[in-house]
Structure 1
Amino acid sequence: MANKSTDISKFFIAGINYKKTDAAIRGRFAISAEQYEKILTLAPAHHLHELFILSTCNRTEIYGFAEEPAHLINLLCTQTTGDPATFSKIAYIKNGLEAVEHLFQVSAGLDSQILGDYEIVGQIKTAVKFARERGFIGAFTERLVNCVLQSSKSIKNQTALSGGTVSVSFAAIQYIKERIGRVEGEKILLIGVGKIGRNTCRNMVDYLGTRNITLINRTEERAASLASEMGLSYAPLEDAAKYIGESDIILVATNAEQPTLLRTHLEGKGAKLLIDLSIPCNIEKSAGELPGITLVNVDELSKLKDETLQKREAEVPKAKAIIAEHIDELLEWHDMRKYVPVLKAVKTKLKELHSCPVFSRLSGESFPSTVHTDEQIQRVINGMATKMRQHNKGGCHYIEAINEYIAIGPQWTATSAKAVG
């Protein structure tokens, strides 16, 4: 596998996202941490050794080296409710440079449901760290991700692509303001205080100007901690039915495989605004059919447009130019990687040549110091690497030159070394 990982044409991405699939379909292929763990455990049996999975509310993507993308898709779908045939039918599949470009665009927020959404960067870091800790990030993927993150940082610092405050969690606040207006007196319930839940909570406090918010989380301590930090209320999960009945606005940001807020929880409880920030959807769809109930999910929230998004669209060309620069740097590094075995072999041969007593007798000269010779050899190697990159020549010619050098017994001089370089 190590040799295959140097062949960029074997690097694939297979994924689905919001462009061709709705939240319900994406939910069938969403990957939790437990499922991710199981997938990596199974990967070697599928002959896969370098990969990571990005699963968010907008997408599920698997990146990795494989003989063909079906191997990655089959592995992914061992842990999803959706099957490989369905995934393959709706997926986009890219390899080589196209796959690399895709990851750069995803990390920049160019492929996000809300243009410039910077939350994706943290999700990429988490996904890669998870795979790295389990030994599935090799030299190429490590370098790729580092370049991707550097590019994303440059875009954030040098453009206004992520300017303003727009994300799915903030879109929820925009929707509440448009639908409800002033929220004084409205009782708000937030179920789930993971990353999206925390961001949504802070946005409500900052932009709605209310603290009439109750937090409920499966792990009560996390709800209590955030409530204390933000000056809010919290309640245990077993009291959820009571607070659901009393609340006017309910936001759900849980990460359950099945709906946590059911139609039965809401029947006869009056008018409510329900906002589902979860993938898979964690509010039962039929709840939206009840009288007085308004239900929106991440797909509907992401359709919101405003001046901020228009300004971001104007920054896209700048972002793409930055991406192109970082991809060029990555490809230059990758191009040189294929010469590493040859360069190492030449360096070893030169050191052997230096230490060979035959050449000392042939030349009638004493060798320079080891330190000096090491520096001289490194200069030869550096020059050789430059020529190989510029002329795209294989290393066999240089190995032959060294073999000829040994055969004819040339004088060891700096001029001879340069000739080999």
Structure 2
Amino acid sequence: MQSEQILLLGVNHKTTPVEIREKMALSGGYDQYLAALNKVEHVQEHYLLSTCNRVELLVVADTGADVRDLLIRFLFGDEVPLEKADEYLYILEGREAVHHLFTVAGSLDSMVVGESQILGQLKEAYRHAAEQHSTGALLNKMLHKSFTVAKRVRTETGIGSSAVSISYAAVQLAKKIFGDLRQKKVLLIGAGEMAELAAEHLVGNGVKTVSVANRTLARAMRLAERFEGGAISMEELPEHLEETDIIISSTGAEGLIIHKKDVQAVMRKRRNRPLFLIDIAVPRDLDPELNDLDNVYLYDIDDLSSVVEINREGRGREAIKAERIVDEETLKFEHYIETLEVKPTIVELRKRIREIAEGEMTKSRHRLGELTGEQEDALDAMLHAITAKILHHPMEYLKSSRCTGHKKIKERVNTVCEIFGLPEGRAKKQDDETDE
């Protein structure tokens, strides 16, 4: 019988405000916290995940051991009273814990459904746990299966192929225009939050340089420093249009900053290299007539929002397929756990039948006289065949797909142990009497 319980305790962006989550972040890195968990009584295996949106603790603990308060205190420390922690915390056990882990790995529980970053975070957390020998046979199997789930979701659905945020939509449109974004130059006009986020995404996709123009030069310098770029004044904009590939504008100006005639003049010098402009400002910074120019691509906030909304609907349909994959893999893993419960009984049963058969053969052996090697092999093959035939139905009985749920498995294991007189049967009977 399985002697462990799987528990998952955690908080995320849906259940817990950021001011609480940031207190739970692993400021000292994974290793010291994993080492501390080694000292928690009754915890056999453990794994810890910490991101900006979630902190989750996955453990295998002794069955019947009440470790929840210890683990809650470990997660929250002295920052949150135990009675208050219930407001933020989710605690999942067994199948629900497995399903949640697979849902997280498939990016179905992320703030942006379908984002790819979470898989890397899961693998990084697992690397630390493995190095600390915190995980064992069960969690190793479970975590590797979660990586398989993520791969299936990525390859069998289109959940990660559509932009669902303004900044991410901007990057996807830039890729359609330029293909490879490496070596491209970005110019930020203004210092709006969405423009800054779009620049982060572009840098993450390999753009070469980021320049920042702002009416307050000090602000431009601070932002440019973040991207290891340079700051320019608003008066220098015209001369930078010639070398820039992507412009993102989000100022609070009352009128247009870049007019059609400004770009028209530099397109000849650019030899008609594509120019991609994103106008996130309200009111608009960039002249709508820019779209009339060849090789000039202008998108405003409404254009990007339309892309996001269309993609969000498509991603919702793909999420349904992904959820089905998660459900399938959860059922498979649940069956795997169930086989662990019957495995000791199967091993003991094989051993008992083999001992009986070999014992009876030993008693009768002297009557057969001297045997050739070929006859010895034939007898051994017959012994193996008889043993296999006797074992066939009891093993099918234990492994039956109708045998689901801990209680039913326990009943069948006890029945087989009673019939064949296995020692574990008596132990389980005592457990049952204790339970009652």
Answer yes or no: same fold by TM over 0.5. yes
Shift in Å, 1:58? 1.1
TM-score, structure 1 as length reference: 0.60
Shift in Å, 1:114? 0.3
Identity of aligned residues (%): 21
Alpha-carbon displacement from aligned partner over 1:360-418 (angstroms, at most 9, x marks no partner): 429967874446644664565454332113264523443444459xxxxxxxxxxxxxx
Match of 2:204 in 1: 202
Match of residue 389, structure 1, among 389, 394, 399: 399
Distance 1:134 1:188, change over 3 A: farther
Gaps of 5+ in 1: 177-181, 190-196, 215-241, 253-271, 274-303, 405-421
Match of 2:75 in 1: 76
Match of 1:60 in 2: 55
Shift in Å, 1:53? 1.1
Match of residue 110, structure 1, among 108, 111, 122: 108
Pair 1:317 & 2:320 matched: yes
Structure 2 CA distance, aligned partners of 1:85 and 1:382?
Answer: 53
Structure 2 CA distance, aligned partners of 1:188 and 1:204?
Answer: 22
More displaced stretch, 310-319 vs 390-399: 390-399
Structure 2 CA distance, aligned partners of 1:12 and 1:375?
Answer: 43
AA in 1 matched with 2:412: G
Shift in Å, 1:121? 1.2
Tell me, yes or no, if the aligned pair for 1:161 and 1:312 is still in contact at 8 Å: yes
Following superposition of structure 1 onto structure 2, how do residues 216-235 of structure 1 map, counting pairs within 5 Å? none
AA in 2 matched with 1:62: L
Shift in Å, 1:135? 2.1
Shift in Å, 1:29? 1.0
Structure 2 CA distance, aligned partners of 1:136 and 1:351?
Answer: 38
AA in 2 matched with 1:385: M
Structure 2 CA distance, aligned partners of 1:40 and 1:369?
Answer: 55
Distance 1:321 1:184, change over 3 A: closer
Match of residue 246, structure 1, among 200, 204, 221: 221
Pair 1:37 & 2:12 matched: no
Match of 1:119 in 2: 117
Match of residue 129, structure 1, among 127, 130, 155: 127
Shift in Å, 1:54? 1.1
Q: What secondary structure is seen at the aligned counterpart in 2 of 1:111?
A: coil
Structure 2 CA distance, aligned partners of 1:73 and 1:394?
Answer: 36
Tell me, yes or no, if the aligned pair for 2:152 and 2:325 is still in contact at 8 Å: yes
Gaps of 5+ in 2: 175-183, 192-198, 228-248, 251-306, 369-374, 404-410, 423-436
Q: What secondary structure is seen at the aligned counterpart in 1 of 2:205?
A: helix
Shift in Å, 1:85? 5.5
Structure 1 CA distance, aligned partners of 2:100 and 2:360?
Answer: 55
Alpha-carbon displacement from aligned partner over 1:79-102 (angstroms, at most 9, x marks no partner): x86665654431222222222211
Shift in Å, 1:187? 9.1
Alpha-carbon displacement from aligned partner over 1:344-373 (angstroms, at most 9, x marks no partner): 111111222232156642996787444664
Structure 1 CA distance, aligned partners of 2:379 and 2:365?
Answer: 18
Q: Give the number of aligned pairs.
A: 308
Distance 1:400 1:26, change over 3 A: closer
Structure 1 CA distance, aligned partners of 2:386 and 2:123?
Answer: 41
AA in 1 matched with 2:38: P
Structure showing greater Rg: 2
Alpha-carbon displacement from aligned partner over 1:15-64 (angstroms, at most 9, x marks no partner): 111123343332111124x4421222222322122111111111111111
Shift in Å, 1:126? 1.7
Tell me, yes or no, if the aligned pair for 2:11 and 2:90 is still in contact at 8 Å: yes
Tell me, yes or no, if the aligned pair for 2:357 and 2:387 is still in contact at 8 Å: no
AA in 1 matched with 2:52: C
Match of 1:21 in 2: 16
Match of 1:152 in 2: 150
Structure 1 CA distance, aligned partners of 2:206 and 2:24?
Answer: 30
Structure 1 CA distance, aligned partners of 2:25 and 2:19?
Answer: 10
Q: What secondary structure is seen at the aligned counterpart in 2 of 1:46?
A: coil
Q: What secondary structure is seen at the aligned counterpart in 1 of 2:108?
A: coil
Match of 1:326 in 2: 329
Pair 1:307 & 2:310 matched: yes
Distance 1:358 1:82, change over 3 A: same
Structure 1 CA distance, aligned partners of 2:315 and 2:58?
Answer: 28
Distance 1:159 1:345, change over 3 A: same
Shift in Å, 1:159? 1.0
Structure 2 CA distance, aligned partners of 1:153 and 1:248?
Answer: 37
More displaced stretch, 305-314 vs 122-131: 305-314
Shift in Å, 1:343? 0.7
Structure 2 CA distance, aligned partners of 1:201 and 1:188?
Answer: 17
Shift in Å, 1:202? 2.8
Distance 1:168 1:110, change over 3 A: farther
Match of 1:416 in 2: none
Tell me, yes or no, if the aligned pair for 2:397 and 2:412 is still in contact at 8 Å: no
Match of residue 398, structure 1, among 412, 416, 436: 416
Q: What secondary structure is seen at the aligned counterpart in 2 of 1:163?
A: coil
Distance 1:330 1:148, change over 3 A: same
Tell me, yes or no, if the aligned pair for 1:29 and 1:60 is still in contact at 8 Å: yes
